[in-house]
Chains A and B, each alone.
Chain A
Amino acid sequence: MPSTPSSADFVAAEAVARHFDVSKPWLSRTIEGSPRVFLKAVDGVSFSVAKGETLALVGESGCGKSTVARLVVGLYRPTSGRVLFDGLDLTGLPAAERTRIRRRMQMIFQDPYASLNPRWRVRDIVAEPLRAFELTKGRAEQDERVGDLLSQVGLSPADGEKYPHEFSGGQRQRISIARALSSNPEFLVCDEPTSALDVSVQAQILNLMRDLQEELGLTYLFISHNLAAVRHISDRVGVMYLGRIVEIADSETLFSAPRHPYTQMLLDAIPDLAMSGHVREPMGGEVPNPLDPPAGCHFHPRCPFANARCRAETPALKRYGSSEAACHAVEEGRI
C-alpha cells in the first residue's frame, strides 16, 4: 500500500499531478487536425516531510523534480491532487490566510545569476520579503535585520550596498539564502541550489544550509541530481523517473540497499574514485520522450528485469522493509 500522508506530517503531497498543455496553437490544430498534447510533468506523486527533516528528490533532467518544487510552494497549481502545508491546502485558502502561510515557506533557486534582480541593491533584495510581509517597522529596523541576515550567511552587512553583479556565484547563492531566511520560514524548498556552482563552493553552501537547519530548526525539500550532495544533506531520499516516484527510503538504506532497478542504475553511475575494480553493468537506452511515455512501468524499456506485466500495468509504491519501491519485479521477488 502506498503510504497515505497523515495530518501530523508537516508538508505532504497527495497524488499531486501537473500536466502542461503543449499543443500547437488553436489555428494550426484546426487546420492540421492534430490533437491536443499534454506533457505529464508530474504524474501522481505522493510524499511527506516531517518537521526538521530533509527530504531529497533526485532524478535525471526532465523527470519533473523542479515542477514538484514549484507545486509545493504554490508557484504552480496542481492539475489534480493537493499539497498540504501544516495540514492546510494552499489553493483553497482566502488571501489573508495564504499570505500567513507563504511567510512560513521559502525557496532557494538553481541559478544564482537569474534569481537576483540585477537592478536592485542587495539590501533591497534581502528586504523584499520583510516589506511584503511587513515584518519590520521603519528603515532602521529593516537595515539592521538585513545586516544580521547577511552576517548569518557569511557575508558582511556592508555588502548590502552592492549590486548582485559584484558577487561570485557562491556569494550570490548566500544572498539568495539570506532572502529566503528573511521571513523566518520553517520550510525551505531548494531547487538544485548547488548545481550551478563550482565543486569547492558546493560544499560550503551545503554546510551553510546544514548549519542553518540545526540553528533554526528548518525543514528542507531538497531537489537535486547530484547524488553526492543528496547523501551529504538528506535524511530521506525519493527517486523520480518521468514524473513518478519510483523509490523512497531513508538515505542510509537507499544508498546501501537500493531496491528499484532505476535506483541501482543511478548509484552504479556514480564515478568510483577508489578504483575498486567493480564491474559496471552499463544501462542501455535513454529517457523516453515524456510526451509519449511507455505504458505500464515507465522504466520497462531500459529495465533488465521487465516482463509482460511491467509493460502493461503501472506499479504502485509498496513498502519493503525500510524502503518503498514501485516495481513489479521487487514485488514478485525477481530481484
Chain B
Amino acid sequence: MRGWRDSDLWYSFTRSRITVVAAAIAGATVLAAFLAPVIAPYDPFDLASLDLLDAHIPPFWLEDGEARFPIGTDDQGRDLLSAILYGARISIGVGIASVLLSLFVGVGLGLVSGYAGGRVDAFIMRVADIQLSFPAILIALLVNGVLRGILPSERQDDLAIYVLVLSIGISGWVQYARTVRGSTLVEKNKEYVQAARLIGISSASIMLRHILPNAMGPVLVIATIHLAVAIITEATLSFLGIGVPPTEPSLGTLIRIGNDFLFSGEWWVTIFPGVTLAVLVLSVNLLGDWLRDALNPKLR
C-alpha cells in the first residue's frame, strides 16, 4: 500500500501554494465554527444573557468601543464575534447536510437512470432538464414555500433548519444525477459488468458494488464546489428572511440584520459576517477548483 503522502494528489496539493492557503483558511473556519461553544466568549442563543443596553456597540478600536466585545455588538446586544462563530456553524452545517442530501438523491437517480435506460431514464432526465431550466435559488424558494405551507406555524422555527436543508438539497441534485448517469452509461457496457451479469449478480448489487466506485471521482469534485454554492444559497435564503429564525442566526441572517443599520453608520454588524462568508466560500471554491484539476488526467 502506498501512503497518502506519496500519492499524486498530495504532491499536487503541496505544489499549489494558493490551495494550501485556501485549505488552511477553510479548515480554520470550519474548526472555529464547530468549536464555537468552547471558544466563543458568549452564547448568542441564550436570550436571557443578552442586555439591550449593550446594543450597537462598535468594535473596540473605535470610539465607544469596549474590550468585552472585540468586534462590536448587534441591535440585540449580541457579541458579534460569538454570533459569527455560531452563525458559521449553522451555515457550514446546513451546507454540508444539503450537499449530502443532493449527493444521495442525485447519485441514486443518476445510477438508476443510466443503468435502467429506456423510459425510466427518459423520465428522470426530463425532470432534471425542467429543473435545470429554472435557477437553483428559485427551486429552493419554491420547495421552501411549499414546505412552510404544509408545516403548522408553531413548529416552523424548530424545523426551519430541516426545511432549509431539504430545499437547498432538492435544488442541487441535477448536476450529480447527470454526471453519474454519464459515467454509468460508459461503465455499464464494460466487460466487467457483463461478467457480473453473466453469473446472475443482481442489478442493485452491480450498480452499488461495481459501477458506483468507478463513477465517484467527478462526484467528489462537484460536491466540493457545490458546498460553496450551498452555503451561499443558505445565506441568500436567510438574507431574504426565509432561512433560519433570527434567534439562531446564520451568517446570512446576521448580514440581513446588519443591512438595516448599514446606512446609520453601524457597518460592523453586516461587514464582519459578510467578510467571513466571502472568505469561507472563496477558499472552499479554490479547493474545489484544485480538486477538479488534480483529478483531471488531461491537465496533469
Contact = CB atoms under 8 A, between A and B. Distances in A.
Contacts of A118: 214
Interface in A69-126: 70, 73-75, 98-99, 102-103, 106-107, 109-111, 114-119, 125
Interface residues of B, number: 14
A1 interface: no
A188 to B, nearest CB: 11
A115 B191 contact: yes
B214 A106 contact: no
A128 B201 CA distance: 9
Interface in A58-78: 70, 73-75
Contacts of A38: none
B190 interface: yes
B2 to A, nearest CB: 11
B199 A117 contact: no
Contacts of A102: 198-200
B201 A109 contact: no
B196 interface: yes
Nearest to A125: B192
By CB atoms of chain A within 10 A, which of B194, B199, B201 has the most?
B199
Indicate the size class of the contact surface on chain A: 20 to 34
B273 to A, nearest CB: 43
Interface string B182-208: 000000001110111111110000000
A133 interface: yes
Nearest to B190: A114
A98 B195 contact: no
A99 B195 CA distance: 14
B213 interface: yes
B213 A129 contact: no
A224 interface: no
B148 interface: no
B292 interface: no
A128 B196 contact: yes
A228 to B, nearest CB: 24
B199 to A, nearest CB: 5
Interface of A: 70, 73-75, 98-99, 102-103, 106-107, 109-111, 114-119, 125, 128-129, 132-133, 176, 179, 183
Given A99-B200, A107-B194, A114-B192, 7 more contacts: A102-B198, A106-B198, A106-B199, A117-B210, A119-B213, A128-B201, A183-B199
Interface of B: 190-192, 194-201, 210, 213-214
